[in-house]
């Protein structure tokens, strides 16, 4: 079920303590806010509690600032951090791509029809190939070529675009470059990457062809936040599909493309709707 356009989101986490659900739900009742969706999870190994509430104010003139100010002392009693998200929030976004167009094309279609509530400020690539696609959607396209020798300068150009656009979210839609540790630190918790997931793992060129040679029976994709470990950041969501001996390399590639598109879009959706909590390098995800 998609989120209704008039609901706010309150997302919070704190140490595991008695009364954590009550402090949120009681406050919302006192504020005359009707809860339309509520999810919570107590992570017993880390003794950490997570809660997400969608709610609809039952009175006119809801004041977000006053709401937050009133909740601060309640949350403070539980060492609780929280974030309030307004209806219609569309985070400013920059998309990084290389030559593969399937994920970018899928995201731009969802964006154009209003299914993906983001505000795309720019598309950045190390190749010129996808500029016509961005231009068709009337989006700025920045071509920054890169080589091992020019990587620091090229990343500085990307950082400048992110800063100039005020991007709150960066999407690596099959951007085939390894980001520096400094870039990973800068984008921690706000950059989402997508890559194929095959068992066993096939690294290097033509992974689906390698998978075909081994008779792989599953293909999939993983969407995760970036970190300094290549393709090993905190996982947001994954998907998988069965294949068999009738699938040739081109069939595996096609199925992989479809799964990558769906998985990336789902991860972005979860991030925007504050369904993802990061804690100590792991994620808690309230999927829908």
Q: What is the pLDDT of residue 232?
A: 80
Give the pLDDT confidence of 142-160 residue by residue, as tens digits: 999 999 999 999 999 999 9
Select from 153, 146, 209 the least CA-distant residue to 178: 146
Any residues with CB less than 8 A from the CB of 30 and at least 6 apart, and which?
none
Give the pLDDT confidence of 54-80 residue by residue, as tens digits: 999 998 889 999 999 999 999 999 999
Residue 15: pLDDT over 70: yes
- CA torsion, points 259, 216, 287, 102, in degrees to nearest 10? -10
**Domain spanning 92-285, CATH class:** alpha beta
Residue 230: pLDDT over 80: no
CA distance 228 to 181: 5
In the chain, % of residues over pLDDT 70: 98
Residue 276: pLDDT over 90: yes
Q: What is the pLDDT of residue 9?
A: 98
3-state secondary structure of 64: helix
DSSP 8-state symbol, 44 = T
Higher pLDDT, 166 or 208: 166
Strand 8-15 relative to strand 141-143, pairing: unpaired
Q: Please pick, among 42, 119, 231, 251, the residue that the annotation labels catalytic.
A: 231
Angle CA 228–234–238, to nearest 5: 125
Q: What is the pLDDT of residue 2?
A: 57
Determine whether 22 is an active site residue. no
Strand 191-198 relative to strand 169-172, pairing: parallel
Q: What is the pLDDT of residue 199?
A: 66
What does the domain layout of the chain look like in residue ranges?
Answer: 8-85, 92-285
Q: What is the pLDDT of residue 206?
A: 83
CATH of 8-85, one of 2.40.10.10, 1.20.58.740, 3.30.70.260, 3.90.1150.10: 3.30.70.260
């Amino acid at each position: 079920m998609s989120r209704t356009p008039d609901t706010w989101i309150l997302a919070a986490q704190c140490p595991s303590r008695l009364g954590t659900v009550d402090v949120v739900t009681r406050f919302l009742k006192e504020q005359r806010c009707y809860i339309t969706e509520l999810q919570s999870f107590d992570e017993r190994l880390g003794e950490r509690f997570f809660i997400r509430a969608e709610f609809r104010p039952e009175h006119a003139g809801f004041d977000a600032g006053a709401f937050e100010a009133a909740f601060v002392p309640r949350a403070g009693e539980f060492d609780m951090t929280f974030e309030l998200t307004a209806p219609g929030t569309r985070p400013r976004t920059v998309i990084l791509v290389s030559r593969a167009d399937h994920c970018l094309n899928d995201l731009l279609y969802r964006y154009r029809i209003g299914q993906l509530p983001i505000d795309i400020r720019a598309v950045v690539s190390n190749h010129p190939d996808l500029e016509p696609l961005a231009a068709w959607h009337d989006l700025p396209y920045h071509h920054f070529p890169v080589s091992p020798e020019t990587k620091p300068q090229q990343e500085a150009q990307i950082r400048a675009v992110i800063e100039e656009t005020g991007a709150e979210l960066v999407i690596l839609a099959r951007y085939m470059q390894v980001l520096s540790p400094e870039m990973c630190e800068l984008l921690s918790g706000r950059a989402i990457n997508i890559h194929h997931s095959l068992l066993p793992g096939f690294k290097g060129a033509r992974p689906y062809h390698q998978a075909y040679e081994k008779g792989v029976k599953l293909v999939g994709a993983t969407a995760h936040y970036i970190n300094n470990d290549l393709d090993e950041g905190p996982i947001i969501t994954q998907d998988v599909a069965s294949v068999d001996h009738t699938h040739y390399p081109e069939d595996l590639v096609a199925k992989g493309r479809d799964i990558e598109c769906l998985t990336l879009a789902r991860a972005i959706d979860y991030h925007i709707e504050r369904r993802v909590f990061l804690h100590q390098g792991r994620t808690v995800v309230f999927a829908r």
